[in-house]
Amino acid sequence: MDLTLSPAEQAFRDELRGWLEANNPGREPAGDEAAFEFRRDWQRKLNDAGWAGVSWPKEYGGRGATLVEQAIFNEEVVRARTPSVANVLALAMGGPTVIAHGTEEQRKRFLPPILSADEIWCQGFSEPGAGSDLASLKTRAVRDGDDWVVTGQKVWTTFAHHAKWCMLVARTDPQAPKHKGLTYFLMDMEQDAVQVRPLRQITGESEFNELFIEEARIPSENIVGGEGEGWAVAITTLMHERATLAFGLQVSVQIALRELLETARETRGFNGGVATEDPVIRQRLTQLMIESEVLRLNAYRGLSAIMRTGVPGPEGSLGKWHWSEVNQSLTELAMDIAGPRAMLSESDHNWSYRFLRARANSIEGGTTEILKNIVAERVLGLPRMR
């Protein structure tokens, strides 16, 4: 066991840190369009320096970094508080899925514009009637010559209004058992048959959209992984979502905790003293520090297990679930520290917004209940509930 970075890993981190320090464009502007353009510029800057597809193979424009280097990258960009990139879903999920399941033509066609942010991607998985039970989705694709004609409705599609491509899972064989009749398509969003309507969320903003698809056309060459293989390909996408997010998430919790500590030191509690001297607040703050350490250590343990055995250890499946609980507790504590100001929308470090936004953490990217099912069935080997 060695929990320090090797000289090579340290050199990688130092080079990255130096680059981020010199090139970080800072805070993004207000307004959806301006923020999007800002993120697109930032991603292009990253890509020009070879930092956009850190984990991607070199032959597809990536850096071919090791797992530890990917983890370092994910930690460092959060630590440097750089803006988000414009094509986050394609970089983290879509690209790796095409690399794993796509044809050589698809890799050549789709990967370069992902890295350059010339083509933005969104994800069309969930439907109004198919959330946790994703395989029961109803969006239908029917073959018509060399094309497929798609009709249905998708929901929670982040970035749909900027997207050129949609990772779309649709039912191609209604007769087959529900996991077997699905196919994974890359659907061109730039057609009238696809309508995007923003969904307003409890924070007031609109990160997500609804997608109304009325006889949209997709050429057969845009199927990833083969007809009827949609479920396996979708699982690859979801596994990438959960695995690569872990490192960024644990650092974001550490940063949030530092900010909460700053807030607590400047806020008076109900007994007149600063909040950090209130024994109950102190205990809760420390418990969060411990939990955030668990998130960090589990992420590294999971990584070591993958390097040793090629498969994630049991602790890997716990990260997203645990993170959502920690982030929710953290923002709830921020509200308790705020006292009567917890009733107001404006607050230091944007706590009121973060408090509301955190409610989605235990739902998005797999609900806690589904993640517990996965742990119970696949890690502990308990019988399936169905």
Rounded-to-10 torsion of CA 16, 22, 27, 30 = -110
- Residue pointed to by tokens 């630590």: 79
Pairing of strands 121-124, 165-171: parallel
The DSSP secondary-structure symbol of 6 reads -
Question: Is 383 a residue that touches other proteins (CB under 8 A)?
Answer: yes
Nearer to other proteins, 193 or 274 (CB): 274
Q: How far is the CB of 217 from other proteins (least distance, A)?
A: 42
| Span from 145-153, 310-318, 333-341, 348-356 in contact with other proteins (CB under 8 A) | 310-318
Pairing of strands 208-219, 182-188: unpaired
- At 53, the amino acid letter reads G
Beta carbons of 103 and 217 less than 8 angstroms apart: no
Q: Which residue in 193, 289, 356, 360 binds other proteins (CB under 8 A)?
A: 289
Within residues 318-347, the interface with other proteins by CB under 8 A covers 318, 321-322
Nearer to other proteins, 88 or 274 (CB): 274
Question: Is 6 a residue that touches other proteins (CB under 8 A)?
Answer: yes
Least Cα distance to 299 among 244, 368, 238, 371 occurs for 244
Q: Is 62 left (phi over 0), alpha (psi -120 to 50) or beta?
A: beta
In whole angstroms, what is the distance from residue 207 CA to residue 147 CA?
31
* Element of type H or E holding 156: none
Question: Is 290 a residue that touches other proteins (CB under 8 A)?
Answer: yes
241 is catalytic: yes
Question: Is 132 a residue that touches other proteins (CB under 8 A)?
Answer: no
Question: Is 118 a residue that touches other proteins (CB under 8 A)?
Answer: no
Structure token pair of residue 22: 């010199």
Q: Which residue in 24, 158, 276, 329 binds other proteins (CB under 8 A)?
A: 276
Q: Which residue in 3, 22, 30, 343 binds other proteins (CB under 8 A)?
A: 3
In whole angstroms, what is the distance from residue 204 CA to residue 219 CA?
38
The number of angstroms, rounded, from the C-alpha of 312 to the middle of its chain's C-alpha atoms is 18
Within residues 27-56, the interface with other proteins by CB under 8 A covers none
CA angle, 3 as apex, 283 and 306 as ends, to 5°? 105
Kindly name the residue from 28, 241, 315, 325 that is annotated as catalytic.
Answer: 241
Question: Is 298 a residue that touches other proteins (CB under 8 A)?
Answer: yes
Q: How far is the CB of 317 from other proteins (least distance, A)?
A: 9
- Residue pointed to by tokens 């250890």: 313
| Span from 93-101, 120-128, 201-209, 305-313 in contact with other proteins (CB under 8 A) | 305-313
Q: Which residue in 20, 52, 68, 168 binds other proteins (CB under 8 A)?
A: 68
Question: Is 9 a residue that touches other proteins (CB under 8 A)?
Answer: yes
In whole angstroms, what is the distance from residue 361 CA to residue 371 CA?
12
Question: Is 363 a residue that touches other proteins (CB under 8 A)?
Answer: no
Question: Is 287 a residue that touches other proteins (CB under 8 A)?
Answer: yes
Question: Is 293 a residue that touches other proteins (CB under 8 A)?
Answer: yes
In whole angstroms, what is the distance from residue 116 CA to residue 43 CA?
7
Rounded-to-10 torsion of CA 5, 8, 10, 12 = -130
Q: Which residue in 79, 179, 301, 349 binds other proteins (CB under 8 A)?
A: 301
Q: How far is the CB of 348 from other proteins (least distance, A)?
A: 18
> Which residues make up the interface to other proteins (CB under 8 A)?
1-6, 9, 68, 71, 261, 276, 279, 282-283, 285-287, 289-291, 293-294, 297-298, 300-301, 303-305, 307-308, 314-315, 318, 321-322, 369, 371-373, 375-377, 379-385
The catalytic residues are 241
